[in-house]
Amino acid sequence: MTPVCKHIAFTVKAEDDGMRIDRFLAGHMPEMTRSRIQKLIEEGCVLSDNSAVKASYKVKVDGKISVSVPELKEPPIMAEDIPLSIVYEDDDMLVVNKPQGMVVHPAAGNYSGTLVNALMAHCGTSLSGINGEKRPGILHRIDKDTSGLLLVAKNDVAHQSLAAQIKAHSLTRAYQALVHGGFSADTGTVNMPIGRSPVNRKKMAVTMQHSREAVTHYRVLERLEAYTLIECVLETGRTHQIRVHMSKIGHPIVGDPLYGVKKEAFSLNGQLLHAYKVGFIHPRTAEYMEFTSPLPDYFQKILKNLRNL
């Protein structure tokens, strides 16, 4: 049987003239790994002006690039009886406190043990279907090794209301993070666009190419010798936003395996970043609601040790 393919087309712009085809596609298809792109090229799925090309091919201005991407067969998403820390729940939504180490929604390599698997067991069919079967009810996400509060919609009306608040930047999302170094000012704003790193496709970066606006407001909560505990409030919600912004301004988050320092003084399983506050207008009652979550024990233990130095 011939595999079902998704066909994607691009027209080469002047700023991309002379770029290798694999780099060109990596910049225009950030959801796809470099190895996957190279495999598609090897299999003849990438054409330039209707002719198959090699990875070394350099695109030409106004050239027509087409990519045929075979649809991957994915396993069905199963409900799993995984304990959930539920901060709030009603007929329309939940506020869940996600532990460090839990993936939010299934993806390649993580089709079980995710927050979605747990939600399907807890809620049954009572989850918004707007984001499809892999992300039912999910409005926003936090990284696997970031802990904290997430909103989950139980129906499409609630989903649309909360998603509109996220889009309008009216939904409160505040984090606490322990970062390296000290700040000269107590408050500040990082306004730098974020996109897929042109060097490492597993990372995001501050870049002007294929990027989106990203704004993070920060405030010093406590100064601890070589470290600082800060609050970060998101105006936008880009992938790895706080981690990328803090690293870019010279204050990487402690324990961050992607954007942090190579040698840490602490033994950690991920970055010390916690989504501790979320606030929103309830989609049914129109009342403002706000919830907070204390820092996880491992986070508090490190702060206690630093305070005793």
Strand partners, 231: 176, 219
pLDDT value at position 32? 78
Tokens of 67: 């990519």
Tell me which CATH code domain 175-274+300-307 carries: 3.30.2350.10
Tokens at 42, concatenated: 């090897």
143 is catalytic: yes
Q: Mean pLDDT in the chain?
A: 92
CB 178, CB 254: distance < 8 Å? yes
2 vs 180: which has the higher pLDDT: 180
Residue 31 has pLDDT above 80, yes or no: no
pTM attached to this predicted model = 0.78
In percent, how much of the chain has pLDDT > 90?
78
Q: Do domains 5-70 and 175-274+300-307 have the same CATH topology?
A: no
Question: pLDDT per residue over 247-267, tens digit each?
Answer: 999 999 999 999 999 999 999
Section 188-217 average pLDDT: 92
Architecture of domain 5-70: Roll (3.10)
Point out the catalytic residue in the list 16, 22, 143, 145. Answer: 143
Is residue 85 pLDDT above 70, yes or no?
A: yes
Q: Domain residues of the chain, as ranges? A: 5-70, 74-167, 175-274+300-307
Q: What is the CATH number of domain 74-167?
A: 3.30.2350.10
